[in-house]
């Protein structure tokens, strides 16, 4: 894992799993590329898919069923060489599934470990077939600061410049877009405001949190603070502009996407990233496959 979970979300999902007696969406896992597994996937997906459809949001889903015993046995053997699977998306689903398994184990005097509640639904992608989009931030208010005082505060740790050309999507690490007062600005983290040797501190989500969201806007814990909202990059920069223009938010920030290798390094070291550091694509639709207890 590379993120902590929120207790309220974990409890909510666990209740959903317990009530319906099923997992309705997969935990999104990834692994470093394995040539043998990739070759097996390519052979399987060269055949006609079991399902092929486009759902409401215009995303096409194709699903193949691997039912050749020999192919399954070879694929299982290949996975034995995979030493780690990483949660790309689904920390709460995994934690909730584990919570339900513990609860059901306590209630089942004949527990063997083979019951369906001991397993959860997952999908595994090789990292070469994934991409991480930016996970942007929006804040409801300026903590009582005037726009002038706010800009003065962040100017001590960021170089701030105008961006009259319109919405700004960062092109490099340590670069941020900021929409404030119906205008876009470019922020660049100043040298000395973060430790380039710290695998967590060097992340853009950490730089923004440690140097701006926390000290300037008073958002000490972004996991629980109701003043901050996280906007997936798939929604575009318009999703940042609209609430600020409408007055329901005061400022919004666009970020450069976290690199997959950064995430793998953090997870391998047993560390965790700040919440909502990554937005992975592609996402599978919940309910496409259901794991019944």
Beginning with the edge strand found earlier in the chain, give each strand of the sheet holding 86-89 in spatial order.
Answer: 86-89, 27-31, 122-126
What's CA 161's distance to the chain center, in Å? 29
pLDDT digits (tens, 9 = 90+) for 73-130: 999 999 998 999 999 989 999 999 999 999 999 999 999 999 999 999 999 999 999 9
Cβ neighbours of residue 46 closer than 8 Å, sequence gap 6 or more: none
- pTM (predicted TM-score): 0.81
DSSP string covering 142-184: -TT--HHHHHHHHTTTEEEEE-TTS-----STTEEEEEETTEE
Task: Return the residue matching tokens 């690490």.
Answer: 173
Separation between Cα atoms, residue 212 and residue 150, nearest integer Å: 10
Task: Band the pLDDT of 274: cuts 50, 70, 90.
Answer: confident
Separation between Cα atoms, residue 262 and residue 264, nearest integer Å: 6
pLDDT digits (tens, 9 = 90+) for 191-240: 999 999 898 999 999 999 999 999 999 999 988 899 999 999 889 999 99
Task: Return the residue matching tokens 């974990």.
Answer: 10
- State the distance between the two ends of the chain, measured CA to CA, in whole angstroms: 25
Task: Return the residue matching tokens 């976290």.
Answer: 258
């Amino acid at each position: 894992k590379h993120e902590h979970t929120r207790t309220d979300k974990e409890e909510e999902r666990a209740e959903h799993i317990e009530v319906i007696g099923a997992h309705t969406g997969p935990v999104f896992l990834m692994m470093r590329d394995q040539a043998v597994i990739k070759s097996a996937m390519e052979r399987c997906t060269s055949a006609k898919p079991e399902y092929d459809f486009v759902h409401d949001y215009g995303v096409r889903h194709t699903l193949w069923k691997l039912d050749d015993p020999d192919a399954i046995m070879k694929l299982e053997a290949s996975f034995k060489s995979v030493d780690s699977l990483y949660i790309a998306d689904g920390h709460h689903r995994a934690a909730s599934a584990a919570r339900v398994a513990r609860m059901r184990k306590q209630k089942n005097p004949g527990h063997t470990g083979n019951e369906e509640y001991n397993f959860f639904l997952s999908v595994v992608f090789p990292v070469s077939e994934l991409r991480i989009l930016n996970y942007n931030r929006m804040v409801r208010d300026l903590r009582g600061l005037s726009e002038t005082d706010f800009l003065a505060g962040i100017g001590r740790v960021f170089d701030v410049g105008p961006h009259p050309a319109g919405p700004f999507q960062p092109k490099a690490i340590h670069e941020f877009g900021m929409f404030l007062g119906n205008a876009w600005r470019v922020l660049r983290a100043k040298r000395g405001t973060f430790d380039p040797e710290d695998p967590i501190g060097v992340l853009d989500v950490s730089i923004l949190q440690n140097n701006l969201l926390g000290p300037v806007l008073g958002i000490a814990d972004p996991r629980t603070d109701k003043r901050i909202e996280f906007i997936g990059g798939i929604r575009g920069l318009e999703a940042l502009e609209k609430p600020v223009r409408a007055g329901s938010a005061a400022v919004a920030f666009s970020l450069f996407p976290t690199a997959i290798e950064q995430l793998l390094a953090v997870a391998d070291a047993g560390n965790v990233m700040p919440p909502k550091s990554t937005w992975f694509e592609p996402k599978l639709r919940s309910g496409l496959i259901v794991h019944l207890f």
